[in-house]
Structures are given as C-alpha cells and as structure tokens.
A and B are shown apart, each in its own frame.
Chain A
Amino acid sequence: MIMTKLLIKKIIKERQSKSAKKKNKKLLKKAGTHFTSVTASEGRFRALTEKSSDAIALVNSQGKVLYASLSTKEVMGYTPEEFKKLTNPFELVPPDERKVITKLFEKLLKEPGGVERSTYQIMHKGGYSIWVKSVMTNLLNDPNVGAIVINYSDITKEKELEQQKDNFLGAVSHELKTPVSSIKAYGQLLETMFRSRGDPKAAELLGKMGAQIDRLDDLIADLFDVTKVYSGRLQFHEDYFDFNQLVVEKVEEMQHVSEKHQMIKKLNSVNKVFGDRERIGQVLTNFISNAIKYSPNADKIIIATSSNKTTTTLCVSDSGIGIRETNLERVFEQFFRVNGPESNTFPGLGLGLYISSEIIKREGGKIWVKKNKGKGSIFCFSLPTKKNG
C-alpha cells in the first residue's frame, strides 16, 4: 500500500510537466498492476487466516485485540467480534497462568521480531477449559502488520493422551514395584536359610539374584521418576544439609556395588547446601553408577567437592570409555545412550542423566560433562549457595 501511495504521488508531481505525459501513462499502469497484486495478497492472507484451524489474533502494544480470525469460534467458542471485545486476549487464561503469559507478552514488546511460545489452558466460552499452544510474534515494527500476532492451536486432545500415558506409566511402575519388593524379601530369606544350613554356594547365588533385583528396581524407579518429570509432579522437600556428609554416605553405599573400583574422595570444605537431600543424593548415585558402568577396565573413581562464595560443586571422574566430543551435549537428553568401542550397548534406559539434569535444573543448579585429560569423563553439578547457608 505504501508503495502504491508513493507511485501515485510521483504521478501527480510528474503531471505538472507536459513532457512527462508519456511517462505518466507507464507509471499509472505500473501502479494499477501493483494495486491488483496487493489486493490479491490481501485476499490470500484473509483466506489463509480464515481457513486455518488455528485461531489468529492481532493485538496492539496495550493488549487490545485489533483483529481475530473466524477460527476463534472453532477454538475458543467466541466469534471474532466477541473476542475483540475482551479487555485483552489473556482474559480467558486462569489467573496464575495469566501472570506468566502477561510477563511473556511484556518481554516480547521489547523485542521487535521476537517470538514467544507457550502452552497453557484457556476457558472456552462453553465453560470448560482447553489446552492451547500459543505462538506470539512481535510484528509491531512491520509496516504491513503493526501488531503482535498470536496463533492459538488447540492441543487439548494431545494433552489428554499425554496425561493418560503418564498415568499409565505411573501405574505400571507402581505395579511392577510391588512384586519386586516381595521377590527381594523372599530371596533374602532364602539366602539366610541356606547360609544357616551350611550351603554357602546357594546363598551366594541368591545374593547375585538380589543384585539383579536391585538393578530391576532402579530401572522401575527411573521409569517412575521420568513420568513425574513429564507431568511436573517431581516433588522436592528442601532444607539445609551437610553436603560432604551426603557424599560420604552415597560413596560408601556405592562402594558395596563395585568392589573392583576404588572410590577416592577428595572432599574440600564446602558450604551447607539448600535443596532436597534425597534427590541430590539420587544424582550423585547416578553419576557414580555410570562411572562404574562405563569404566569396566578401570579401577579408580574420584569424587571431589569444592565451593566458592556462590556455588558448591561436585565432580565424579572416571577413566572409562569416555564420550565423543560431539555427544558431550547430548548425554543429558532422554533416551540417549553411549555405545562402547565395538558398538556394544551398555545396559540402561537412557533416563538416569536426563532425570539428574531435571533435578539439578529444578534446584537452580548447573550440570555438565567434560572429557577427562587422560581417559574417560568427568561429570559435575553445581548448586547455588543460598542465604544463611
């Protein structure tokens, strides 16, 4: 449109000159063609927005809805006219989530061309809530738009399926744990009986069976935890605790798992840490059990702690098979597993480090891995030192 106006202005100016008559004709033709193409592109835009299954709204910097597509009726039950009458598009979002979305909107206002994606619930006109995936794009500086564009996709069905999957995995883990608990108890009873009857070989075999039951239990526990991570139900009970004491306990526990690996503690004086002792212990156990698993030919694992004014750090170093440079970032992804030199796969679900990274993130810390100078890997996490620590 702006280009069309400029062309017309140019035509008027040139009309003043007789010699420009011929040129005017050409320019008018050009302006006409441009006008037709603008009308066509506007038509395409209208067709796209009105036929789209996503609801689309244009909002000004004050949050006032300037335009709403026909699909707002399909997605939220409101006609475009009704939607435009809302104080702002976030009026339909429950109060707690509304605060978060409004903050995102305010942040976006400061970023021309920026995009903010979020998933939240909104109240449908029919009185029930639906889940939407929203994409907000700041096109305030774009002369063709001059607004924040908000896309709403209805993802209620996907959310329901996700919920069903989480519930199912939760139930599966719980149901699997029940028989595992009794198998372990019966196994230990038998082990005691064989030992007291003077049959150490049978007792030893039952001890080995017990170790395998523990592995199975760990896998189920990971499955249980990951469902909680997905659904945001991983619970934390935070308090101040002696970090080095926790390290000593976990190292002692893990020393029983592998007699082959000598666990060397290098504990420096560290701050008290504020966090969930059990969950942080879980991360530590995960680091040490990985170090054992991925260093079958090594005999030493070093566990070191340190702190400065702002953070407390723990690192577990092994001299095992190590991780390729390209995979260093990927080890904390879910389902990622490291292969051995002959592509032999190490056992596991590929969930332990993912759960660990989620725990550390939730505690406001950082988690990372680096190559060990000689051979193997160094896994570390750091936690912030909080006030009164």
Chain B
Amino acid sequence: MAKTILVADDDPAILDAIKMILELDGYTVLITQDGRAVSKLSQMNPDLIILDIWMSGQDGRDICRHVKAYHSTRGIPIILMSAGRDVEVSAKEAGADDFMSKPFEMSKLLANVKKYIL
C-alpha cells in the first residue's frame, strides 16, 4: 500500500510542485494550505508530515510541537522546511525530526523522505 505524506505550505505553487514530485515517486500525498488543519489531518496517521515554518498566521514550529505533544500522533516523523537560513536549530528544538531549506534539490527531498518511510 502506498505510503501517505501530509504536506502543509501556504504557497499553493510549492505545494503543487512537492505533490507532483512525491506522487511521481509513488506516494499518496495530502496537501493543505491551512496550518490549523494539520493537527486534525495528522489524526489520519500519515506516514510523514512535511511542514513549512512560515505560514500565514501560523508558525510550523508551533504546529510541530502540537503534533508531537499528542500520544496518538507523536510517532509521526516531521520534516520542517523554510526559506530562512538560520531556523534549523529552532526547528529541531520544536521537535522536528529533520529540516530542509528552500529551495531544495528534488533528490534531497526524496532522500529525506526515504529516511523516514521505509
């Protein structure tokens, strides 16, 4: 069965591009532009969550903390991503399993995903 990845970013273009890249590699992809929907969607137990840090009105690090605080969702690996250079440490402090800076190499995205989805 195809593994499911939840991707959240407030930019529809990057969301679309990531969805196409991941689908091309055989994953099922759920997308949302609304950071507040992530906690709810995480209840569907995706195999991985990829979250942007700077989303309008929402900080991806806060969402990450929230998802990692619940027993039922704490085990889902989270990759935080950002266009900022100096947020990696704060991303890890928020409980993210990995960090990816934007723009990224497609190969790096896929390699990162494979680290968490066997």
Q: Which of A177, A192, A235 sits near B102, CB closer than 8 Å? A: A177
CB<8 Å pairs between A and B, sample of 9:
A182-B17, A185-B17, A185-B104, A188-B21, A188-B106, A224-B85, A236-B86, A237-B86, A278-B85
With the chains together, A214 CA to B106 CA distance in Å? Answer: 13
Identify which of residues 235-265 in chain A touch chain B, using a CB-to-CB cut-off of 8 Å.
Answer: 235-237
> B83 near A: Cβ within 8 Å?
yes
- By DSSP majority rule, is chain A's interface helix, strand, loop, or mixed? helix
Let me know if A154 is at the binding interface, CB within 8 A: no
- B42 to nearest A CB, angstroms? 24
Interface residues of B in 53-94 (CB under 8 A from A): 54, 83-86, 88-89
> Which residue of A184, A234, A235 contacts B103 across the interface (Cβ within 8 Å)?
A184
Closest to A220 in B: B83
Q: Does A343 contact B (CB under 8 A)?
A: no
- Is B30 interfacial (CB-CB < 8 Å)? no
Knowing A178-B11, A224-B85, A237-B86, the reply to whether A189 touches B103 (Cβ < 8 A) is: no
From known contacts A180-B103, A189-B20, A213-B103, infer whether A278 and B14 are also in contact, taking CB-CB under 8 Å: no
Neighbouring B residues of A141 by C-beta, 8 Å: none
Closest to B85 in A: A221
Chain B residue at minimal CB-CB distance from A239? B89
Q: Are A192 and B103 in contact, CB atoms less than 8 angstroms apart?
A: no
Q: How far, in Å, is A253 (CB) from chain B's closest CB?
A: 11
Q: Report whether B106 and A234 are in contact in the complex, using a CB–CB cutoff of 8 Å.
A: no
User: What size tier do the contact residues of chain A reach?
Assistant: 20 to 34
CB distance from A38 to the nearest CB of B (A): 61
A350 to B14, CA, bound (A): 30
- A37, CB-defined interface residue at 8 Å: no
* B13 contacts chain A at the CB level, 8 A cutoff: yes
Any B CB within 8 A of the CB of A232: no
| Chain B residue with Cβ nearest A214 | B103
Give a binary string over A192-231; 1 marks a CB under 8 Å from any B CB, 0 the rest: 1000000000000000000001100100010011000000
B86 touches A181 (CB 8 A): no
A386 interface residue per 8 A CB criterion: no
CB-CB under 8 A from B31, the residues of chain A are none
A residues less than 8 Å from B118 (CB atoms): none
Q: Which residues of B contact A213 (CB under 8 A)?
A: 103
